[in-house]
Amino acid sequence: MIIVLLGAPGVGKGSYAKLLQDYMKVPHISTGDILRHAIEEKSELGERVKKYVSSGDLVPDEIMLEVVKERISKPDAKDGFILDGFPRTIPQAEGLKKLLASMGRKIDFIVNMVLDEETIVKRLSARRQCPSCGAIYNMLSNPPKDNENCDICGTKVIVRPDDEPETVRFRLKVYEEKTKPLIEYYQKEPGYITFDTSSPLEEGVKRLLKLLTG
C-alpha cells in the first residue's frame, strides 16, 4: 500500500507514520531523511542535492523525484511505503504520479491530517530542546524528568525560536497558503481522506488503520 501523508507542522505526521510503519510493515519515507542520506552517500545524485541544500536553495522537483525514485526502488519498499514531506506542490504531485505509473504503481491513499490551530500552537510551543545534545522534549507529553534539565546530559532545556507561539502561527499561515492548491488537487483524486488527529495517538492510529484497511 502506498500512502502520502499531508499536514501542517505539529499535526503529528511523524508520530503517526512511525506507528503505521510498524503496523503495516512498510517503510516511513521522510523526504528530510532521504535528502540527508543522499548527501551522506556522496553519490553523484547526493552531490547535486548537497549543492542546493548547502546554499539554502530549494532542491528542484526533478532532483527530488530522482531521490524519491531511488528510495522507493529499494527492496523494503516493494510492498508499499508511507511518504511524508513530499509532494508539496502540484508539479511535484504530477511528477510523483508519472513516476509511480512508470513503475506500474499508484498511490492508494492521500491522508490530509488536520488539527485546529490552537491545539497545534499549544503542542509546538510546548516543545523543548537540549542546546547541548539536541534531545527533544514536550512539556505536555514527554517532559524532562525534573521538568527543566535534559535527562541525558543535565543541560537546561530551551524553547527553539521556531516553536515560539507567534512563529508557529506564522508557519501555519504560510503552510496553508502554499499547500491549498495541492489539497484541492488531491481532493479530486481517488483515495483522498481528511483525518482529524486530535484524539490520543494510539487511538487515532487504530482509527486511521480501519479507514486504510477497511
Hey, which CATH number is domain 2-115+164-213, 3.30.70.20, 1.10.760.10, 3.40.50.300, 3.30.200.20? 3.40.50.300
Task: Please list the active-site residues.
Answer: 13, 88, 127, 160, 171
Q: Report pLDDT digits (tens) over 27-82.
A: 999 988 899 888 998 889 999 999 988 888 888 999 999 999 999 999 999 999 99
pTM of the model: 0.86
User: At residue 105, what is the residue type?
Assistant: R
Cα–Cα distance, 96 to 69 (Å, whole number): 9
Query: What totals of helices (H) and strands (E) does the chain contain, helices first?
Result: 8, 7
190's enclosing H/E stretch is: none
